[in-house]
Amino acid sequence: MKKRIITAKDSSFWEKLNELVEYRELLWVLAWRTFKVKYAQTLLGFAWGIINPVFTLIVLSFVFGVVAKVDTSGIPHPLYTLAGLCGWTFFASLSADAGKSVLSAQNMVKKIYFPRMILPLSNILNSLVDFIIVLGCLFILMIFYQYTPSINLIWFPFFVFWVIIAGVASGIWVVALTIRFRDFHHVMPLVMRLGMYVTPIAYPASSVPDKFKLLFYLNPLAGIVEGIRWSILGTDIFPSYIWISLGVLSFMFISGWAFFNKVERIIADII
């Protein structure tokens, strides 16, 4: 067995990454355990993975499609909204689950050493399942409306990669802040509800007034959600402002990783 010496010095990004690779089996075990526990002892089981996005779709379609009558350039509003929900679902799911990951595993954190980053990362599997379920519902809806995917679909993996980065970045920030400030655990549900409406899920970003557009594009999910919808449905032109969102997201990921590594050394003491 390889001997590991734990020191107080800061580790580089690559050292931390190599450590995660070394503990990949633990990551997989925790991910599988989280996946099995999520719907354990529930009456409907995995059906909740479909019920939640469908219920959200109904509400958003009624508010923005029936009441507000948002222009979706001829695309059926339920289809337009569900394409926007694809990216948001993964982000929201990972942010919510990651925030509880360290606190729910506090007994393990206090007793043994392992890279604490594994805990928020172990929720990626759950979030990917939610993402795949919503994506499956989207393609069923596309068949129903007889809507053919655009050639822009080749860009879809690019946006999927960035939505995963967005989920991980938000997850590690939520974990680090929740450990230091327990009030943040109660703030997150409010932030997520507000985030759903300031992200162009059920409406196009082009409908935002010009004087608010720069502020609006600072939302990293704005560009990703529009990009996913563009790649699947071929809406308008390539959202050039996505580079602003990706720049903000890159900063969030790097700063979140650094902040988490600072907090990681004292997690067992303050948890």
Q: Is the pLDDT of residue 161 over 60?
A: yes
Token readout for 106 is: 């506090």
Average pLDDT over residues 177-202: 80
In the Cβ-directed half-sphere of 157, how many Cα atoms lie within 13 Å?
1
Q: Looking up tokens 């967005």, which residue turns up?
A: 166
pTM above 0.75, yes or no: yes
Residues 45-62: tens digit of each pLDDT: 667 777 888 888 888 888
Q: Each residue of 87-128: pLDDT tens digit?
A: 888 888 888 777 777 777 777 777 777 788 888 888 887 788
